[in-house]
Amino acid sequence: MAEIDVRLREDVHQLGELLGDTIRDQRGDAFLEKIERIRKGAKAARQGSAKGAQQLSETLDSLNDDELLPVARAFNQFLNLANIAEQYHCIRRRSADEPEQLADCVLPELLQRLLACGHQSAELAEQIASLDIELVLTAHPTEVARRTLIQKYDAIAAQLAAQDHDDLLPEEREQVQQRLQRLISEAWHTEEIRRVRPTPIDEAKWGFAVIEHSLWQAVPQFLRKTDQQLLAATGKRLPIEAAPIRFASWMGGDRDGNPNVTAPVTREVLLLARWMAADLYLRDVDELASELSMQQASDELCSVVGKTAEPYRAQLKLLRDRLRETRNWAHASLTREVPAPLAVLQDNEQLMAPLALCYRSLHECGMGVIADGPLLDCLRRVATFGLFLVRLDVRQDSSRHTAALTEITEYLGLGRYADWDEPARLKFLQTELDSRRPLLPAHFKPEADTAEVLATCREVAAAPEASLGSYVISMAGAGSDVLAVQLLLKEAGLQRPIRVVPLFETLADLNNAGAVIDQLLGLESYRARLSGPQEVMIGYSDSSKDAGTTAAAWAQYRAQESLVQVCAAHQIELLLFHGRGGTVGRGGGPAHAAILSQPPGSVNGRFRTTEQGEMIRFKFGLPRIAEQNLNLYLSAVLEATLLPPPAPEQQWREMMDRLSADGVEGYRGVVRSHPQFVEYFRQATPEQELGRLPLGSRPAKRRAGGIESLRAIPWIFAWTQTRLMLPAWLGWDHALGKAIERGEGDLLRHMREHWPFFRTRIDMLEMVLSKADADIAKLYDERLVSADLRPLGDHLRDLLSQACAAVLELTGQSRLLGHSPVTLASISVRNTYLDPLHLLQAELLARSRMRESTADSPLEQALLVSVAGIAAGLRNTG
């Protein structure tokens, strides 16, 4: 097995030693020695030592009740420290003879390839400037770390950077060491898990913190480098108003199954975003005012500020005053309705124009080197974040709109909307949308659920257009689902267009997506209401939970192809919104490869995707890491637009049809048809306990019921904790196995070599299988599952083995990830710390199920810490 880079290994060892010193200081040498015995036993057991396994088991069994929590915390903290070291290693200083990271050189290399393919310099510059990429930040319950700890982790990474210099003096190195020791000690003595469930406002503030502490610095630096790379390759510059990547959010707008997200919450989040944006720009403008002390100015600037010795400061003072008014008004409006004074900034141009005027003046007066410093960075932020920081999407389940309209039609004596067929619904909705009269009388008093739907629509109508993204309809299945929202928004007083976006999530709805959009675009009045592209959201999580990832992946691909064809036929632009999760089971995986594997024509300069849960922190939590991921997104969308992958050959399609049919048969044969499956799932995994833990503002279930009622996140998160990883691979075992039995292995290998879609799916499958561990899953069964259900566990682990064998047959390797020894080494190191947490968690689950314990009891806290530690160790958990 390949060795981990020596510098990374040294960083991990150093942080581990400092954590050990901290633990010793609090709990003494004997406790630290016990931790070390557990670690060594786990390492030896991994290497096949029966003695090591016995030592591990005996040491864990000997733990007193008051030792359970600190042991869990010790291994949890080490895995978090390992994550910090790995993240820093991706961005560490490199010597001149070291190769650049892919993320840092991907755009220059792509530009050279595009030029070689005949694309012109001006075309490339225009294409990059006009890219429309939007990353939608969502809060999900797999991000369990508290914000205060995340800030300490960021500070630890900064100290790793501070010591990464060969010429540090001994006293300077000692200062860094002391600072690291303090930070690790602070983290150890800080409760890492929140005691109460976060509110949607808490989640929104967490999202704003990512922008404040990372993206605010990363975005202008990313655009500065993009500009330099574009100039070097084409001789063209990136316009200052260009914003190829922007950000949106679901935090405070996603009310699908979350009763805690209400109309007042959405209003508060919109105001908080406005307050935060004004505050961040104020800091920028204060800094600019202190720097731009120059006297010479253009006639254009002088005509605005008059005769003054410091024209730039005069201009910035006017802007600063307006930003203060905006911030103060937004803050006051959080608690009461306050009319906006005239000075409050209402339009992004009011923020951009004064800064752009200073920029033009400096260039005109020969001070371009000054203009292209912090002032340009501020302009780039204005172009990207605007007055509202992020655009807030609103999401609601289609059934809530149906229920609201049913109450309305019954009140009006028109019958039950829910009972009408699709033609009747469409006729009614079109008639009312075209009508100039209101649908509802002023004295209508709806029930609570309908009142909330209408109140949300009123908030959408009242909010500034630039503050909102799209209105997303989850579990959409028909054209009437879209028109229903348009009618409710019209009734709420919305006078401007907003993108109303159907989210197709189930296998059946994905297969019907093209037909639904074709029907909508065939309605003349609907096309007239469109402003901009037709946006459609592709659901990865629920489609995978419904049919397994084999069938879901192919349905998602075919749905996109169909939507591209339909929109082209109607001469309407298409914007696809990808609802990808962090895990393979929820459509996750490396974004760069995923984008390049989309159907040809489906990207076309536009791309929208969710960034979820703890993956936001891993991908955007540090400015330099964020830069790298923004580089990857921009390059992948540019390449997918100008060098799209080939359309699949007919025999590939036929093979995917067979794989899909076999995959869904294998998946549903277990999940839906096996009579013991639901009970086994609940005994073998922490699914029930996850619902009690304060992991997010949203309930674990949409409604009462079995597997079908579970959200995709806890469904996958529970299996990840036991390392069976079932949702990510179940179905592939059956599909690939049958294909190989039919003698189609050569065709599968040909597809993997020549079709990016199939290669990406197999690569992601291989990655998740490498993290799965049948032996760990069996330990959960032995401790938690009743004897009559254990044969099902044996069967599932046998299916896991079959999936691994099929992938190895396909890739021609002797072991999973044999082509990536560094990744294998990283997983191996983590297993030494994960194994004790798994064993401890199984014991904690058993004890928790045998006794009544409160949420703040040491047992429940230790259980939650084990959940957090396993999530940290496996990274893409939810």
Phi and psi angles of residue 416, each rounded to the nearest 5 degrees, phi first: -100, 110
Please answer whether residues 393 and 136 qualify as being in contact, where contact means their C-beta atoms are separated by less than 8 angstroms: yes
H/E element, 578 = strand 574-579
Q: For residue 658, how many other CB atoms are within 10 A of its CB?
A: 15
Q: For residue 342, how many other CB atoms are within 10 A of its CB?
A: 8
Residue in the block written with tokens 């086994």: 680
Of the listed 545, 771, 778, 838, which one is catalytic?
A: 545
- The residue among 780, 772, 777 whose CA lies nearest residue 807 is 772
**Sign of CA pseudo-dihedral 311, 316, 318, 321:** negative
Give the distance from CA 752 to its chain's centroid. Answer: 27
What lies within 8 Å, CB to CB, of 504 at 6+ separation is: 476, 477, 510, 512, 513, 516, 536, 537, 538, 539, 543, 559
545 annotated active-site? yes
Phi and psi angles of residue 270, each rounded to the nearest 5 degrees, phi first: -60, -40
SS3 state at 527: helix
140 annotated active-site? yes
Phi and psi angles of residue 243, each rounded to the nearest 5 degrees, phi first: -140, 75
Q: In whole angstroms, what is the distance from residue 866 CA to residue 388 CA?
A: 38
Count H helices and E strands in the chain, helices first: 38, 8
Q: In whole angstroms, what is the distance from residue 536 CA to residue 250 CA?
A: 16
Q: For residue 481, how many other CB atoms are within 10 A of its CB?
A: 26
Phi and psi angles of residue 851, each rounded to the nearest 5 degrees, phi first: -140, 155
DSSP secondary structure string, 221-281? Answer: HHHHHHHHHHHHHHS----TT--SEEEEE-TTTB-TT-TT--HHHHHHHHHHHHHHHHHHH
SS3 state at 141: coil
Classify 506 in phi/psi space as left (phi over 0), alpha (psi -120 to 50) or beta: beta
Scored b (16 or more CB within 10 A) or e, 505-524 reads: bbbebbebbbebbbbbbebe
Alpha helices of 386-447 — where are they, by DSSP H? 398-411, 422-434
Residue in the block written with tokens 């105001």: 271
Q: In whole angstroms, what is the distance from residue 356 CA to residue 239 CA?
A: 12
753 class by beta-carbon count within 10 Å (0-12 exposed, 13-18 middle, 19+ buried): exposed
Classify 587 in phi/psi space as left (phi over 0), alpha (psi -120 to 50) or beta: left
Residue 518 CA: distances (Å) to CA of 280, 506, 513, 536, 597: 44, 19, 9, 12, 25
Q: In whole angstroms, what is the distance from residue 242 CA to residue 132 CA?
A: 10
Termini Cα distance of the chain: 29
Of the listed 34, 140, 490, 578, which one is catalytic?
A: 140
- The residue among 358, 359, 328 whose CA lies nearest residue 343 is 328
**Residues composing the chain:** 878
Please answer whether residues 341 and 329 qualify as being in contact, where contact means their C-beta atoms are separated by less than 8 angstroms: yes
**39-42: long-range contacts at Cβ-Cβ below 8 A with a sequence spacing of 24 or more?**
39/832, 39/833, 39/836, 42/831, 42/832, 42/833, 42/835, 42/836
Residues noted as catalytic: 140, 545
